[in-house]
Structure 1
């Protein structure tokens, strides 16, 4: 019997466990508040041991932030998949349009999760770390697309940072918007405003 599929199966099981822990962390934090949940409670809710939790996440904050980590990775993968000759800001705007349209309108769980993130300094710190790492990788991808020389790297870094700030502002405005508001209806204007001089 061939074992070539085993690594794939193993990785899928790991991904499923990681996702289950993340979802348990989000659900419990929304229901009970971040300060009132423990790593043990998250592990129990996901049906794994405390030791298993530690194999995947270093803290409950890290487990909660896994969704943002996934979104950053999806963004980076999408940038890499865009046509090589496409200008950086055009590529970023197209990716944002696809991603934001997928999200559609506000739903209560997404609002609760977003507001939870904003209300805890420890979560904001973890979020900043996640986005800082993503910004470095995004800067590298943008640098490869620049048509003009950028010896100091300022343009690539400013483009990456400006894009991420525009998206963060859009999400924060979206969380406070009336029900039925789509993220793209806000992000489209934010990106158009932020992209002046970067297109």
Structure 2
């Protein structure tokens, strides 16, 4: 029974973390970073500012947390894929799992010009770059561990680190394409295209 309660507590904590991160992202996209206070984020997520402080030390950390949590979800999903499945096929499935974790963004958002313009401004915000970089590096390291386990390599070997770095770069390329293409394409289609090319060995375009 105690184990069940412990699992429930952890699940609730994760849900609160995701809610706070998405509230920070949503408000920043809509208002701009300078016009969002921690109090606003907490209220949007339905918690107190003290609860916010229990999870994050700043607005930037809350925003960047989405990237790290996504990498954790991808790593967990990769570990659950069938052992005999080809690596890049398993990675592709894991990427989709991570991308949709706790995702409150609707199809309207993915094609709404105001939303996309807001996201573009947010990711270019100098004040966020440090937190984004830290989250990306930490997430990449976690994914490399999952690749190492699946391939029987050491965590410090070149191969799992290289695969994790390629996956992180591929995701960034997909996001840049989504932000820079008019009209914005489907993110699912972009991810399938990007990871389909990687799965095929990244052949030269014909």
**Which bin holds the TM-score, normalised by the shorter protein?**
0.7 to 0.9
TM-score, normalised with respect to structure 2: 0.75
Matched residues in 2 for 1:68 and 1:113: separation? 17
Unaligned runs of 5+ in 2: none
Taking the aligned partners of 2:154 and 2:2, their CA distance within structure 1 comes to 48
Deviations 1:22-81 (A, max 9, x none): 233223212321022222332344444332221111111111223223322221111010
Which deviations, in whole Å up to 9, do the C-alpha atoms of 1:148-181 show, x marking residues without a partner?
x779711221111112101110111012223462
**Selected match of 1:167 from 161, 164, 171:** 171
Superimposed CA distance per residue, residues 91-112 of structure 1 (whole angstroms, 9 cap, x where no aligned partner) = 1123335666998952438635
Q: Deviations over 1:94-140 (max 9, x none)?
A: 33356669989524386356324322123232222112112112112
Larger radius of gyration: 1
- SS of 2:83's equivalent in the other structure is coil
- Write the mapping of 1:152-191 to structure 2, written as runs, cut at 5 A: 153-179=157-183, 181-191=185-195
Give the paired residue count. Answer: 196
SS in 1 for 2:84: coil
Q: Are the structure 2 counterparts of residues 196 and 65 from structure 1 closer, same or farther at C-alpha, using a change threshold of 3 Å?
A: same
- Supply the distance in 2 between the matched residues of 1:62 and 1:47 (Cα, whole angstroms): 19
RMSD: 3.3
Contact in 2 for aligned 1:87/1:145 (Cα 8 Å): no
Is the Cα contact below 8 Å between 1:79 and 1:141 reproduced in 2? yes
